[in-house]
Amino acid sequence: MARLVLDIETVALPLEDFDESQKEYLFREAEKLPDTALRETRRNEIIQQLSLWPFTAQVVCVAMLNADTMRGQVLFIADDYEADSDEAGPVEFVPCMDESELLTAFWDVAKHYESIVTFNGRGFDVPFIYLRSALLKVQISRKDWLGYRFQTEPHCDLAEQLTFYGVSGRDGAARRFNLDFYCKAFGIESPKSQGVTGLDVSRLIVEGRYRDVAEYCLRDVKATVVLYQVWKEYLAGIK
């Protein structure tokens, strides 16, 4: 059974997209703080978090690879990017004009796969894509990808598998680490090895460096594929 390995990148929507009541709701916690400096610090923290929520952010990139063939696509928003017709290889980079086009193209690929592999996809990527699709009225072709938490079909979330579903809590032997840490521990090239991290995505989009975002997202997926192979060979089936 072919598995689709995927990862997404997101950026916050402009604050001016929200009306006054929405902004009041978002910053209510910060506004309750009596100290001006603390209030401003908390407000900035909330602004940083806006990219994590599908009602305050958008998908700007989705990278996908077939776990068996390593062939796939990277869909990314690029206002003025034109695809290179001479570009060839196992991975196709596909610029999209907006998020609706990107999500429509994603679900067109998704319908060919029953199973997926992610790193923290059950907690972030999949619900984010579902909700953004609903908000933009884009039809979903796979409605079961959240799956049942304690099964690896149809969704194998490596963040849950490597912590044995959180058996140790935050501080035990199977505590959770980020993808970069797991990659370095298992001798896998980290997606951050070329100097770009998830914290850079918003800035790169503002600078028009759409392809850099796409390539970073693809490195995340490639690392996830190798980590999945390690899990499959040595840890799959442990309960």
The whole-number mean pLDDT for each consecutive block of 10 residues of the chain, a chain of 239 residues, reads: 94 96 96 93 95 98 97 93 65 96 98 96 97 98 92 96 92 94 96 88 95 96 97 89
Cβ atoms within 10 A of the Cβ of 67, count?
Answer: 22
- Report CA-CA distances (Å) from 160 to 8, 43, 144: 18, 31, 18
Range of the domain at 63: 3-18+56-234
* SS3 label, residue 135: helix
Examine residue 38 and state whether it is found in any structural domain, yes or no.
no
Examine residue 72 and state whether it is found in any structural domain, yes or no.
yes
Long-range contacts of residues 25-29, Cβ cutoff 8 Å, at least 24 apart: 26/50, 26/56
Examine residue 32 and state whether it is found in any structural domain, yes or no.
no
pTM greater than 0.85: yes
Of the candidates 53, 67, 182, the one whose C-alpha atom is nearest the C-alpha of residue 124 is 53
What CATH number corresponds to the domain at position 101? 3.30.420.10
pLDDT at 112: 95
Examine residue 139 and state whether it is found in any structural domain, yes or no.
yes
